[in-house]
Amino acid sequence: MNHIAGSLEQYSTLIWHWPIAVYLFLAGLSAGAAMTSLMVKWIEGNNKAPWDGLIKAGALLAPLTICLGLFLLIFDLTRPLHFWKLLIHYNFSSVMTLGVLGLFIYTPLSFIYAAIKFKPWLFETGPFAGLLKPFKGIIDSIGDNPAWLERTLFLFAVIIGIYTGFLLSAMYSYPLFNTPLLPILFLASGLSSGVAASILFGLLFFKSEVNQKNAKYLLELDLRVVPMELLLLFALFVGMYFQGGDKTLVAIQALTTGVWAYVFWVGVIGIGIATPLLIAVTALKHHAYRVGYILLNSVVVLVGVVFLRLYILYAGQTFIG
Protein backbone atom coordinates (compact mmCIF):
# COMPACT_ATOMS: atom_id res chain seq x y z
CA MET A 1 0.00 0.00 0.00
CA ASN A 2 1.28 3.43 -0.90
CA HIS A 3 1.89 5.83 1.93
CA ILE A 4 -1.10 8.17 1.69
CA ALA A 5 -0.84 9.98 5.02
CA GLY A 6 1.46 12.82 3.99
CA SER A 7 4.98 13.86 4.88
CA LEU A 8 6.80 11.93 7.58
CA GLU A 9 9.44 14.59 8.06
CA GLN A 10 8.14 15.76 11.42
CA TYR A 11 8.56 12.29 12.90
CA SER A 12 12.32 12.35 12.77
CA THR A 13 13.53 11.27 16.18
CA LEU A 14 16.64 13.39 15.75
CA ILE A 15 15.52 16.42 17.77
CA TRP A 16 18.69 17.70 19.39
CA HIS A 17 21.67 18.49 17.20
CA TRP A 18 25.37 19.20 17.56
CA PRO A 19 25.08 22.42 19.63
CA ILE A 20 23.53 20.29 22.38
CA ALA A 21 26.41 17.80 22.17
CA VAL A 22 28.88 20.67 22.38
CA TYR A 23 26.96 22.13 25.30
CA LEU A 24 27.03 18.79 27.08
CA PHE A 25 30.75 18.61 26.41
CA LEU A 26 31.41 22.16 27.62
CA ALA A 27 29.27 21.80 30.74
CA GLY A 28 31.10 18.59 31.64
CA LEU A 29 34.43 20.18 30.89
CA SER A 30 33.53 23.19 33.06
CA ALA A 31 32.56 20.98 35.95
CA GLY A 32 35.68 18.84 35.44
CA ALA A 33 37.92 21.90 35.29
CA ALA A 34 36.44 23.29 38.52
CA MET A 35 37.02 19.94 40.25
CA THR A 36 40.53 19.71 38.83
CA SER A 37 41.42 23.17 40.04
CA LEU A 38 40.03 22.48 43.50
CA MET A 39 41.72 19.09 43.79
CA VAL A 40 45.10 20.55 42.91
CA LYS A 41 44.51 23.45 45.25
CA TRP A 42 43.60 21.07 48.09
CA ILE A 43 47.01 19.37 47.78
CA GLU A 44 49.12 20.43 50.69
CA GLY A 45 51.17 23.54 50.02
CA ASN A 46 49.04 24.70 47.11
CA ASN A 47 46.69 26.84 49.16
CA LYS A 48 48.22 30.25 48.65
CA ALA A 49 49.17 32.68 45.89
CA PRO A 50 51.00 32.59 43.60
CA TRP A 51 48.62 29.91 42.44
CA ASP A 52 49.84 26.95 40.52
CA GLY A 53 49.28 27.31 36.75
CA LEU A 54 46.99 24.28 36.76
CA ILE A 55 44.82 25.76 39.50
CA LYS A 56 44.54 28.94 37.51
CA ALA A 57 43.85 27.09 34.26
CA GLY A 58 40.97 25.13 35.82
CA ALA A 59 39.62 28.18 37.62
CA LEU A 60 39.52 30.12 34.35
CA LEU A 61 38.17 27.30 32.21
CA ALA A 62 35.22 26.57 34.49
CA PRO A 63 33.31 29.87 34.10
CA LEU A 64 34.36 30.43 30.49
CA THR A 65 33.28 27.07 29.16
CA ILE A 66 29.98 27.03 31.04
CA CYS A 67 29.16 30.48 29.64
CA LEU A 68 30.08 29.43 26.14
CA GLY A 69 27.96 26.31 26.56
CA LEU A 70 24.98 28.26 27.82
CA PHE A 71 25.31 30.65 24.90
CA LEU A 72 25.13 27.73 22.49
CA LEU A 73 22.22 26.29 24.40
CA ILE A 74 20.20 29.50 24.26
CA PHE A 75 20.81 30.07 20.59
CA ASP A 76 19.85 26.50 19.86
CA LEU A 77 16.38 27.11 21.31
CA THR A 78 13.72 27.46 18.63
CA ARG A 79 12.47 30.51 20.53
CA PRO A 80 15.73 32.00 21.88
CA LEU A 81 14.17 35.37 22.67
CA HIS A 82 11.95 33.63 25.19
CA PHE A 83 14.84 31.99 27.05
CA TRP A 84 14.37 34.19 30.10
CA LYS A 85 11.16 32.34 30.83
CA LEU A 86 13.39 29.45 31.87
CA LEU A 87 14.68 31.63 34.67
CA ILE A 88 11.32 32.49 36.18
CA HIS A 89 9.21 29.41 35.54
CA TYR A 90 10.21 26.21 37.29
CA ASN A 91 9.10 22.65 36.97
CA PHE A 92 10.82 20.61 39.66
CA SER A 93 10.11 17.35 37.89
CA SER A 94 12.11 18.58 34.91
CA VAL A 95 15.84 17.88 34.88
CA MET A 96 16.20 21.02 32.83
CA THR A 97 14.74 23.17 35.59
CA LEU A 98 16.98 21.42 38.11
CA GLY A 99 19.90 22.14 35.82
CA VAL A 100 18.94 25.78 35.57
CA LEU A 101 18.81 26.01 39.37
CA GLY A 102 22.15 24.22 39.66
CA LEU A 103 23.68 26.59 37.14
CA PHE A 104 22.23 29.52 39.12
CA ILE A 105 24.53 28.54 41.95
CA TYR A 106 27.39 26.96 40.06
CA THR A 107 28.04 29.72 37.54
CA PRO A 108 28.47 32.67 39.97
CA LEU A 109 30.53 30.51 42.31
CA SER A 110 32.84 29.55 39.47
CA PHE A 111 33.28 33.24 38.65
CA ILE A 112 34.07 34.17 42.27
CA TYR A 113 36.49 31.27 42.52
CA ALA A 114 38.25 32.42 39.35
CA ALA A 115 38.30 36.01 40.58
CA ILE A 116 40.17 34.92 43.72
CA LYS A 117 42.73 33.16 41.54
CA PHE A 118 43.22 36.15 39.26
CA LYS A 119 42.96 38.93 41.85
CA PRO A 120 46.08 40.92 40.87
CA TRP A 121 45.29 40.84 37.15
CA LEU A 122 41.64 41.69 37.64
CA PHE A 123 42.01 44.52 40.07
CA GLU A 124 45.54 45.80 39.48
CA THR A 125 47.35 44.93 36.28
CA GLY A 126 44.62 43.93 33.84
CA PRO A 127 42.87 46.21 31.38
CA PHE A 128 39.62 46.16 33.40
CA ALA A 129 41.24 46.98 36.72
CA GLY A 130 39.61 50.39 36.91
CA LEU A 131 36.23 49.04 36.03
CA LEU A 132 36.33 46.18 38.51
CA LYS A 133 37.82 48.04 41.44
CA PRO A 134 34.50 48.36 43.33
CA PHE A 135 34.32 44.54 43.60
CA LYS A 136 37.79 44.15 45.03
CA GLY A 137 36.49 44.60 48.55
CA ILE A 138 34.02 41.75 48.19
CA ILE A 139 36.61 39.35 46.76
CA ASP A 140 39.12 40.39 49.41
CA SER A 141 36.57 39.76 52.15
CA ILE A 142 36.09 36.18 50.95
CA GLY A 143 39.75 35.46 51.46
CA ASP A 144 42.05 33.10 49.56
CA ASN A 145 40.81 29.85 51.07
CA PRO A 146 37.03 30.05 51.57
CA ALA A 147 36.26 26.47 52.53
CA TRP A 148 32.46 26.90 52.22
CA LEU A 149 32.79 28.31 48.76
CA GLU A 150 35.22 25.69 47.55
CA ARG A 151 33.19 22.81 48.95
CA THR A 152 29.97 24.20 47.53
CA LEU A 153 31.61 24.76 44.17
CA PHE A 154 32.96 21.22 44.17
CA LEU A 155 29.57 19.83 45.10
CA PHE A 156 27.83 21.79 42.35
CA ALA A 157 30.52 20.89 39.85
CA VAL A 158 29.65 17.27 40.55
CA ILE A 159 25.96 18.11 40.23
CA ILE A 160 26.47 19.88 36.88
CA GLY A 161 28.58 17.00 35.63
CA ILE A 162 25.91 14.52 36.57
CA TYR A 163 22.97 16.66 35.45
CA THR A 164 24.12 16.63 31.85
CA GLY A 165 23.69 12.87 32.00
CA PHE A 166 20.32 12.98 33.71
CA LEU A 167 19.12 15.49 31.13
CA LEU A 168 19.30 12.70 28.58
CA SER A 169 18.64 9.69 30.76
CA ALA A 170 15.32 11.16 31.95
CA MET A 171 13.85 10.46 28.52
CA TYR A 172 12.54 6.94 28.15
CA SER A 173 11.80 7.64 24.54
CA TYR A 174 15.41 6.80 23.77
CA PRO A 175 16.75 3.47 25.09
CA LEU A 176 20.39 4.51 24.85
CA PHE A 177 19.77 7.62 26.95
CA ASN A 178 17.51 5.94 29.42
CA THR A 179 20.18 4.10 31.40
CA PRO A 180 21.26 4.73 35.00
CA LEU A 181 24.95 4.64 34.05
CA LEU A 182 24.77 7.63 31.71
CA PRO A 183 25.05 10.32 34.43
CA ILE A 184 28.09 8.59 35.94
CA LEU A 185 29.64 8.16 32.50
CA PHE A 186 29.11 11.84 31.79
CA LEU A 187 30.56 12.84 35.16
CA ALA A 188 33.62 10.67 34.62
CA SER A 189 34.21 11.85 31.07
CA GLY A 190 33.52 15.43 32.17
CA LEU A 191 36.20 15.11 34.84
CA SER A 192 38.60 13.56 32.38
CA SER A 193 37.99 16.38 29.90
CA GLY A 194 38.38 18.94 32.72
CA VAL A 195 41.69 17.45 33.72
CA ALA A 196 42.93 17.30 30.13
CA ALA A 197 41.80 20.83 29.37
CA SER A 198 43.42 22.14 32.55
CA ILE A 199 46.72 20.48 31.69
CA LEU A 200 46.56 21.69 28.12
CA PHE A 201 45.56 25.20 29.11
CA GLY A 202 47.99 25.35 32.03
CA LEU A 203 50.94 24.14 29.99
CA LEU A 204 50.13 26.44 27.10
CA PHE A 205 49.40 29.66 28.99
CA PHE A 206 50.80 29.34 32.50
CA LYS A 207 53.69 26.99 31.79
CA SER A 208 56.13 28.74 34.07
CA GLU A 209 53.68 28.58 36.95
CA VAL A 210 52.99 24.84 36.60
CA ASN A 211 54.50 22.59 39.19
CA GLN A 212 55.61 19.34 37.65
CA LYS A 213 54.39 17.43 40.67
CA ASN A 214 50.87 18.76 40.25
CA ALA A 215 50.89 17.92 36.57
CA LYS A 216 51.93 14.36 37.36
CA TYR A 217 49.16 14.14 39.93
CA LEU A 218 46.64 15.11 37.28
CA LEU A 219 48.08 12.72 34.71
CA GLU A 220 47.74 9.92 37.22
CA LEU A 221 44.18 11.01 37.95
CA ASP A 222 43.39 10.97 34.26
CA LEU A 223 44.94 7.56 33.91
CA ARG A 224 42.47 6.31 36.49
CA VAL A 225 39.42 8.09 35.06
CA VAL A 226 39.96 7.00 31.46
CA PRO A 227 39.85 3.23 32.20
CA MET A 228 36.87 3.98 34.40
CA GLU A 229 35.09 5.41 31.36
CA LEU A 230 35.91 2.27 29.44
CA LEU A 231 34.43 0.19 32.23
CA LEU A 232 31.31 2.36 32.35
CA LEU A 233 30.81 2.11 28.58
CA PHE A 234 31.29 -1.63 28.79
CA ALA A 235 28.79 -1.95 31.63
CA LEU A 236 26.36 0.35 29.87
CA PHE A 237 26.20 -1.65 26.66
CA VAL A 238 26.40 -5.08 28.24
CA GLY A 239 23.75 -4.00 30.73
CA MET A 240 21.50 -2.83 27.93
CA TYR A 241 22.13 -6.03 26.03
CA PHE A 242 20.81 -8.08 28.94
CA GLN A 243 17.74 -5.88 29.43
CA GLY A 244 16.04 -7.41 26.41
CA GLY A 245 13.59 -5.95 23.95
CA ASP A 246 14.38 -2.56 22.48
CA LYS A 247 17.39 -2.14 24.73
CA THR A 248 19.12 -5.25 23.40
CA LEU A 249 18.38 -4.22 19.86
CA VAL A 250 19.60 -0.67 20.38
CA ALA A 251 22.79 -1.84 22.12
CA ILE A 252 23.63 -4.01 19.13
CA GLN A 253 22.63 -1.44 16.54
CA ALA A 254 24.49 1.41 18.21
CA LEU A 255 27.74 -0.57 18.21
CA THR A 256 27.45 -2.08 14.77
CA THR A 257 25.45 0.13 12.46
CA GLY A 258 26.43 2.94 10.20
CA VAL A 259 28.55 6.00 10.77
CA TRP A 260 27.85 6.20 14.51
CA ALA A 261 29.39 2.79 15.07
CA TYR A 262 32.56 4.15 13.44
CA VAL A 263 32.43 7.24 15.60
CA PHE A 264 32.20 5.01 18.63
CA TRP A 265 35.00 2.60 17.76
CA VAL A 266 37.37 5.09 16.18
CA GLY A 267 36.50 8.33 17.96
CA VAL A 268 35.39 7.32 21.42
CA ILE A 269 37.32 4.10 21.99
CA GLY A 270 40.27 4.52 19.62
CA ILE A 271 41.10 8.19 20.08
CA GLY A 272 39.52 8.93 23.45
CA ILE A 273 40.45 5.85 25.42
CA ALA A 274 43.00 3.60 23.69
CA THR A 275 45.34 6.38 22.60
CA PRO A 276 45.75 7.98 26.06
CA LEU A 277 46.27 4.54 27.57
CA LEU A 278 48.81 3.76 24.88
CA ILE A 279 50.62 7.03 25.51
CA ALA A 280 50.55 6.35 29.23
CA VAL A 281 52.19 2.93 28.89
CA THR A 282 54.70 4.04 26.25
CA ALA A 283 55.82 7.67 25.99
CA LEU A 284 54.83 8.60 29.54
CA LYS A 285 55.90 5.28 31.08
CA HIS A 286 57.13 5.54 34.66
CA HIS A 287 55.69 9.03 34.87
CA ALA A 288 58.13 10.50 32.41
CA TYR A 289 57.56 14.22 32.11
CA ARG A 290 57.52 14.82 28.34
CA VAL A 291 55.55 17.96 27.69
CA GLY A 292 54.92 17.21 24.01
CA TYR A 293 53.30 13.86 24.83
CA ILE A 294 51.43 15.31 27.76
CA LEU A 295 49.88 17.90 25.43
CA LEU A 296 49.10 15.24 22.84
CA ASN A 297 47.57 13.10 25.57
CA SER A 298 45.33 15.99 26.63
CA VAL A 299 44.23 16.71 23.09
CA VAL A 300 43.23 13.11 22.36
CA VAL A 301 41.33 12.89 25.65
CA LEU A 302 39.42 16.07 24.78
CA VAL A 303 38.70 14.91 21.24
CA GLY A 304 37.57 11.57 22.64
CA VAL A 305 35.10 13.25 25.00
CA VAL A 306 33.70 15.42 22.21
CA PHE A 307 33.18 12.23 20.20
CA LEU A 308 31.57 10.55 23.18
CA ARG A 309 29.02 13.37 23.60
CA LEU A 310 28.31 13.47 19.86
CA TYR A 311 28.05 9.71 19.73
CA ILE A 312 25.69 9.38 22.68
CA LEU A 313 23.50 12.24 21.48
CA TYR A 314 23.24 11.14 17.87
CA ALA A 315 23.31 7.36 18.26
CA GLY A 316 20.83 7.73 21.10
CA GLN A 317 18.41 9.58 18.87
CA THR A 318 19.09 7.42 15.83
CA PHE A 319 18.67 3.95 17.29
CA ILE A 320 15.42 3.69 19.14
CA GLY A 321 14.56 0.05 18.64
Give contact residues for another protein (rule: CB under 8 A): 1-7, 9-11, 13, 15-16, 77-80, 82-83, 85-86, 89-91, 93-97, 100, 170-174, 317
Q: Identify the DSSP state of 52.
A: P
Measured distance CA(234)–CA(72) in Å, rounded: 31
- Tell me the closest approach of the beta carbon of residue 104 to another protein, in angstroms: 13
Mark residue 50 as left, alpha or beta (left: phi above 0; alpha: psi -120 to 50; beta: remaining). Answer: beta
Nearest C-alpha neighbor of 300 from the set 183, 162, 187, 197: 197
Report the C-alpha gap between 106 and 209 in whole angstroms. 27
Nearest to another protein of 76, 209 (CB atom): 76
C-alpha distances in angstroms, 278 versus 128, 226, 232, 281, 293?
44, 12, 19, 5, 11
Distance CA 120, CA 22 (A): 32
Least distance CB 177 / another protein (angstroms): 9
Which lies closer to another protein via its Cβ, residue 82 or residue 287?
A: 82
Query: Minimum distance between the CB of residue 82 and another protein, rounded to whole angstroms?
Result: 5
Beta carbon of residue 319, minimum distance to another protein (angstroms, whole number): 14
- Cis amide leading into 50 (omega within 30): yes
Torsion sign over Cα 190, 302, 231, 282: negative
> Which lies closer to another protein via its Cβ, residue 129 or residue 170?
170
Give the residue with the Cβ less far from another protein, 173 or 282.
173
**Smallest gap, in angstroms, from Cβ of residue 23 to another protein?**
11
Cβ proximity to another protein, 89 vs 285, nearer residue: 89
Quote the CA–CA distance of 34 and 110 in Å, as a whole number: 7
Least gap, CB of 30 to another protein (angstroms): 19
Our CB check for another protein shows the closer of 177 and 206 to be 177
